[in-house]
Structure 1
Amino acid sequence: MATGSTPLLFLHGYWHGSWCWTDVVARVAAAGRVAVAVDMAGHGLRAGRPECLSRRPYDVGAVATEVSPVAGVDLDEAGELLVAQIKELGRGAPVTVVAHSMGGTVLTRAAQQVPDLVAHAVYLTAFMPASDVPALACAQLPENEGDMVAPAVRADPAVTGALRLDLASDDPAYRQRLRDAFFNDVDPAVADAALALMSPDAPVGIALQSTTLTHEGWGSVPRTYVTCAQDMIVRPALQQKFVLDADIAFPDNPTSVVALDSSHSPFLSMPEQVADIVTKLG
């Protein structure tokens, strides 16, 4: 398949679903590219909602202790699902995969497993962990100081098996913190619609496992990192560390970098720019 004509597969991050790529996919398709957005394991149509968040009266104790329906989902499962989705879209030919946020660690796993099927790995302000480093460890690095989503988590993931957001909260201050974390440059009406579509539980197992990277595997796949200067979840210093660590480990295959002046969610705030970037990558 010629460069510039490979199918594009879009993978979202924690708490989101394939819905978040709607505006980008529409523009990519209008440019003549085959494109599809998929749901990550434990998200979208594969998500589970804990009863405690919709039960009234609100039970703080249940929110903190109810085990998540997606507690058993881990990086092994998420990686296997993405590989299957890549194979289905490409039908044996390589696919360009664009991953956002925690979707990046799933893309890394899939690209290590089937490097011949990933024509280009695109990390949109995404986790791109070094070999044998879990994404959760990256999120806790000093380079991620100022992350606004960690303080919004409503339960201990070791108890619930998930990173739980109270998306049904009627606390105006809490809801504003979520908007500021995810959508600080997105139209308020669109941000509220996105919050209503998000899944409250993100399976922590995806962030707890790691992938051993090799030169023949992930290290051989062309990659681009799209930085987002206003990101309040994957902080700019952490984005830069991902690129630096990858280039030190695999200097013969350096990371291309494209910069956006956006929040954590450029697929909503500047879908034209995102579509333009990915359609030019092959």
Structure 2
Amino acid sequence: MLQEIEPTPRADLDGKIFVLVHGGGHGAWAFERLIPLLVQEGHQVVARDLPGHGLGAQLPRAYSNRPLSPQDFAGEPSPVAHVTLADYRDQVVATINRLAERMPDREVILLGHSMAGLVLNAVGEAVPDLVGRLVYLSAWMTANGTAFTDYMPAPELATGLIPSVLLADPAAVGALRMDFRTSDPEYRARVKAAFAADVEDDNWDAISNLLTPDTPFGPLTERVTVTSDRWGRIPRTYICCTDDHALPLAAQHRFIAEADSHTPANPTDVRTLTTSHSPFASAPDQLAKTLLHL
């Protein structure tokens, strides 16, 4: 799904294009509260579902069979296991190419949340001349030659709650698998604590019905190359979420330190939000203010 909102007249003067890339289990819908706040300031915004997510998601058969059979759910291969990081990258690159053709004078700000940090790495390396700034929103800004999975045993991830909510072996089923529609109050509380501790309960009830259970595992195992003369020359911002229990603050700081070591002449611009892993849901005003003041 491609969501494009026409800019206000002010955009003709100084508007930018924000391309928003959601994290695992989400879709373009995740930015519904953020988009109007950027548009009303004269910017154009594009958000798309990544392959295997949002309207393109495919659910395990066992997920729809309630009451859920834990054995079936843990063993069923994921219908999105075939999705690759190249699929993500190519879709975002195609979007940016179209925007560059239509509006060559507009700066593109590419924002990625959580898992989408991997996508920003790959896109920045592929088309550095078309991206004005990379913005990592509590995202996996993995170092050159590393993968998402390389960091999971790291001490900086020791307090992260994601492993505690996985319901299948990712390598066996091809996905990070969770149950966002569970009636188990204990499990449901763990999921909310991991991703959205500061989101109001009523809002979380609606959000969790939109989340999809499988995040493709393949992209998380792929090592990404980020060179100093391509990805490393793009200005980048990292927005730290201090109360994040999915990607702990220590891990966010590690990503920043590794990136700055890789490109010392282009250090990361660091901003901070006192939120959970989901500021687009819990604090969209604060997130918009941060983006508008880059």
TM, length-normalised to structure 1: 0.95
Cα distance in 2 between the residues matched to 1:200 and 1:80:
23
Aligned 8 A contact 2:138 2:247 in 1: yes
Give the corresponding residue for 2:262.
249
Aligned 8 A contact 1:33 1:279 in 2: no
Aligned 8 A contact 2:181 2:208 in 1: no
Instruction: Summarize the alignment of residues 99-248 of structure 1 with structure 2, pairs less than 5 Å apart.
Output: 99-248=112-261
Which of the residues 82, 97, 100 maps onto 2:110? Answer: 97
> How many residue pairs get matched?
281
The answer to whether 1:73 aligns with 2:83 is yes
Percent identity between the two aligned chains? 38
Cα distance in 2 between the residues matched to 1:237 and 1:180:
17
Offset of residue 3 of structure 1: 10
Offset of residue 144 of structure 1: 1.1
Give the corresponding residue for 1:18.
28
Offset of residue 187 of structure 1: 1.1
Q: CA deviation digits over 1:67-91, x for unaligned, max 9?
A: 1110000111111111112223333
Offset of residue 176 of structure 1: 1.1
The answer to whether 1:59 aligns with 2:69 is yes
Offset of residue 117 of structure 1: 0.9
Structure with larger RCO (C-alpha < 8 A, sep 6+): 1
**SS of equivalent residue, structure 1 residue 91:** helix
Q: CA deviation digits over 1:202-234, x for unaligned, max 9?
A: 001111112111122100110000001000011
Cα distance in 1 between the residues matched to 2:13 and 2:123:
21
Offset of residue 141 of structure 1: 1.4
Aligned 8 A contact 2:58 2:80 in 1: yes
More displaced stretch, 254-263 vs 50-59: 50-59
**SS of equivalent residue, structure 1 residue 227:** strand
Cα distance in 2 between the residues matched to 1:139 and 1:109:
20
Which of the residues 54, 58, 69 maps onto 1:48? Answer: 58
Closer, same or farther: CA 62–114 of 1 in aligned 2, 3 Å: same
Structural RMSD (CA): 1.6
Aligned 8 A contact 2:73 2:168 in 1: yes
Cα distance in 2 between the residues matched to 1:3 and 1:129:
35
**SS of equivalent residue, structure 1 residue 128:** coil
Offset of residue 168 of structure 1: 2.3
TM, length-normalised to structure 2: 0.92
Offset of residue 60 of structure 1: 2.0
> Given residue 285 of structure 2, which amino acid in structure 1 is its aligned partner?
E
> Given residue 259 of structure 2, which amino acid in structure 1 is its aligned partner?
A
Aligned 8 A contact 1:6 1:119 in 2: no
Offset of residue 158 of structure 1: 1.2
Residue segments in structure 1 that go unaligned for 5+ positions in a row: none
Cα distance in 1 between the residues matched to 2:13 and 2:153:
38
Residue segments in structure 2 that go unaligned for 5+ positions in a row: 1-10
> Given residue 80 of structure 1, which amino acid in structure 2 is its aligned partner?
D
Offset of residue 42 of structure 1: 1.4
Give the corresponding residue for 2:15.
5
